[in-house]
Amino acid sequence: MCVTMKIIDVIVRDIRFPTSKDNIGTDSLHIDCDYSATYVTILTDDNNLSGVGLTFTIGKGNDLCCKSIDYFKDFIINREIDELEKNLLFIWYQVTDHSQLRWVGPNKGVVHLAAAAFFNAIWDLISKYYNKPLWKYVLDLQPEELLKKVSFSYINDVITEDEAIEIIKEKKKIIPNNLDVLESTIFPAYTTAAGWLGYSDEKMKKLANEYLQKGWTHFKMKVGQDIERDIHRCDIIRNVIGNENILMVDSNQIWSVKDSIENINELKKYNILFFEEPTSTDDILGFRKIKDAHPGEKLATGEMIQNKILFKQFIENNSLDFSQIDSCRLASLNEIIPVLLMSSKFDIPVIPHAGGVGLCEYVQHINIINKFLFSNNTFFLCEYADSCSEHFENPAQIINGSYVTPTKPGYSVKIKDNSLNKFDYNTGVYWN
């Protein structure tokens, strides 16, 4: 039985890691990423219980997300955790449909990224309150209780709560009862970390070889600055990983629809599992044109799909083949779960976006939730890139190219105090 506890404060820190020094994260449009986090801590009147959450940005603008959190704090300060849990969806609407802030959104951009950090911290707090890893807290909820926490606004023309209940109830019949079975589940991953666009041929070759030796079988490479160089890099990586391993490419939105159709024509001979962000990720109809031009190829997108409404359109319009939800772009599980449900209904595999700061730690929970509560698809895969993992108290663990199920209470993104103190953009010794 949990003792009632109250929220007493919300602290926000602007944390930035200087990853641009090593070209980590570089792609066709983002050439100098300093992996950053809007880092939220919810304090309670119990010194041993706090909620931690973040959203991921790549440097400048992280301060804007931090500032947005200031507008949300009052919705939870002085509330008891039981009450917070019961009113979670109401509070989510207070934030995401705030009558003034929605003018600088709504449900998109800086304020929505900030909402993700804020609600990620709340889900962390609640699952720690029950002393469970986040995935276990969610799996243990009754379907009706879970759905009371998630938003169906603007999507009930495509999925209703009744349909969602049915999906979950059917899946719940086959969830393993034995916790050991759940905890020993591993979840297949692919690595992006060998193929950043700013890496030399030699560095890419060396890293791809290293990952191969560590048991990885799925590799993703960045493309999109110059098609001749893309072809050259595909040659290199195929030579290293052979034809038996899986290759994906990501052009990070740089191509027009027309460029994309032409360039996919050049690259498809490399047997590409999917082309990621082949054009602007707002262009639902453009994606469909690319798919129609290349019916044999598959498209993936999602890390910059700004809300569940656009996901609805992508899915319903058959504009994507893989949903790459982002744990910090959508406004936390309140919005991610509806996307997982729509993906389930349309039998679209979910391959979460990860890497950055804390994304791997987050998606390891979402993968388990999706696998056991929602998806009936048999294809499971998730991105992994171990950037910044050294800063986490309990970073995501990988064995033989698969995620290991996290077992500690919460949502797994606690950053070490010495990393926070060193890389705080306002007060840290690194930046000042």
Task: List, by residue number, the catalytic residues.
Answer: 222, 353
Identity of the residue, 68 or 343, whose beta carbon is nearer to Mg ion in the bound complex: 343
Nearest residue (CB) to Mg ion, 358 versus 409: 358
Q: Report in angstroms how near the CB of residue 250 gets to Mg ion at its nearest.
A: 4
Residues lying near Mg ion in the complex (CB under 5 A) are found at 250
Q: Which CB, 107 or 281, lies closer to Mg ion? A: 281
What is the signed CA dihedral for 290, 293, 296, 300, rounded to 10 degrees?
A: 0
Burial class from Cβ neighbours inside 10 Å (0-12, 13-18, 19+) for residue 205 reads middle
Compute the least distance from the CB of residue 252 to Mg ion, in Å.
Answer: 6
CB of 287: closest distance to Mg ion in angstroms?
14
Q: How far is the CB of 303 from Mg ion (least distance, A)?
A: 5
Compute the least distance from the CB of residue 304 to Mg ion, in Å.
Answer: 8
Buried b (16+ CB within 10 A) or exposed e, 38-73: bbbbbbbeeeebbbbbbbbbbbeebbbbbebbeebb
Long-range contacts: 368-372, Cβ < 8 Å, 24+?
A: 368/135, 368/139, 368/182, 368/185, 368/187, 368/405, 369/135, 369/138, 369/139, 369/333, 369/337, 369/340, 370/340, 370/343, 370/344, 371/185, 371/187, 372/139, 372/171, 372/175, 372/182
Closer Cβ to Mg ion, 80 or 259, answer by number? 259
Among residues 333, 407, 297, which one has the least CA distance to residue 118?
333
Residue nearest to Mg ion according to CB distances in the complex: 250
Between 139 and 320, CB nearer to Mg ion: 320
